[in-house]
Amino acid sequence: MADQSIPKARTPGTVPGETEAAPAGEGISRRRLLGTAGATGLVLGTAGAAVGYAAAPSDAAAPLTSLGTGRAMFHGKHQPGITDGLQARGHLVAFDLTAGAGRKEAAALLRRWSQTARRLMAGEPSPHDDTDVARDAGPSSLTITFGFGHSFFGRTGLEKQRPSALDPLPEFSSDHLDKNRSNGDLWVQIGANDALVAFHALRAIQKDAGAAARVRWQMNGFNRSPGATAHPMTARNLMGQIDGTRNPKPSEADFDQRIFVPEKGDPAWMANGSYAVVRRIRMLLDDWEKLSVKAQEDVIGRRKSDGAALSGGTETTAMDLEKTDAKGNLVVPINAHARITRPDQNGGAAMLRRPFSFHDGIDPDGVPDAGLLFICWQADPLRGFVPVQRKLDRGDALSQFIRHESSGLFAVPGGAAEGEYVGQKLLEG
């Protein structure tokens, strides 16, 4: 829920090196459809912009919509799913290695997972018993990201390779953590702009785990679909607030320094990687919605309508922390969430937040189980997430309307080069 939050939605194909038209293939199949896709840009603000196509056998396959043709690349300097634009559907899943599984089995698993991720992200079937769930769809900006938890290194005899940045997070006063839905040996993040494509990837990853690993916990999330608004804009969370105005941007000179481990960092296998903090944050929506809009804005420190700071201007206008009203009161309250989370109020601490909203039904007492699957990326969580969360613990006005219910910290290595699998430098180094 920090002020530096959700990245703006990106039109597929507008960021060089991140998306491209899907490759051609053979037969009246998913590959054939990808090869005949005609539209590569996302149409925004047009009613009925999505174009359907016939599924009946034909020699002339109709084109996919632009939403389906968006493609993220598996191989690269960094893993996908970190700087890519928000996706409409997400799945987070943690695995524990099974009894008897060690470094050898983990290496074989990451090799299988990487092969599957590469194929699915290219819009191709899974290499192992594909279920055909996504047969008729394009890649839909699918990303699959892999990380290692603190316990993974003890299970595989790699304790000496465990980064100090992966030390367990401290306890926070707002924590109400369910240990069964926290941590894990391995973590996988899946995102796509089509729900079936995302589920297909989740099922493939689960099946690939085989006898080497079992699911520890799994969570489902969503965001607004790209193109759902008249123009690209910062996303809203389930509290109705614009959330993500001050997120670090790749165009900033110090972005890589804040988010990614240096190429000559320690340990060497984490070069170009990042650390992901994952928190399931339940929003107490019934209590929140009882507040007036003015009260909600005072809690956040920004206008609900357009995300502008209460000190004035537009969404991107710098917040004036010293501005007072006619009575001499601070316009942005001293305990406003946006004030507390500003990097310049936290020694420059910065995180790239890329979360999903969640809704897991209605409790027996009628209360929605809904909130934020918080995911933030940083080069070092002890300099990124931890100092900000400690400060929030000491007096954030938002704290009485949220509850942290699960937590995890994962080391996410750099991207795999052609012919490599994710984590190979760790597991075979």
User: Does pLDDT of 145 surpass 90?
Assistant: yes
Say if CB 373 and CB 92 are below 8 A apart: yes
Q: What is the pLDDT of residue 257?
A: 95
Q: Could you read off the pLDDT of 346-360 as tens digits, one per residue?
A: 777 889 999 999 999
- Percentage of the chain modeled with pLDDT above 90: 77
Cis peptide before 333 (omega within 30 of 0): no
- Nearest CA among 279, 250, 277, 257 for reference residue 411: 277
Token pair 């085989």 is found at 210
- Nearest CA among 157, 414, 83 for reference residue 265: 414
Cis peptide before 16 (omega within 30 of 0): no
Phi, psi of 375 (to 5 degrees): -130, 120
Q: Could you read off the pLDDT of 369-379 as tens digits, one per residue?
A: 999 999 999 99
Say if CB 392 and CB 340 are below 8 A apart: yes
- Mean pLDDT value across residues 386-410: 95
At residue 62 the predicted structure's pLDDT band, cuts being 50, 70 and 90, is low
Q: What is the pLDDT of residue 66?
A: 82
**Tokens read off for 328:** 């001499």
At residue 63 the predicted structure's pLDDT band, cuts being 50, 70 and 90, is low
Rounded distance between C-alpha atoms, residue 33 and residue 277, angstroms: 38
- Mean pLDDT value across residues 232-238: 93
Say if CB 352 and CB 244 are below 8 A apart: no
Say if CB 116 and CB 179 are below 8 A apart: no
Q: What is the pLDDT of residue 65?
A: 67
- Nearest CA among 292, 300, 95 for reference residue 209: 95
Say if CB 338 and CB 319 are below 8 A apart: yes
Residues 6+ apart with CB under 8 A from 251: none
- Percentage of the chain modeled with pLDDT above 70: 85
**Catalytically annotated residue among 130, 185, 243, 396:** 243
Is residue 243 flagged as an active site residue?
yes
pTM: 0.85
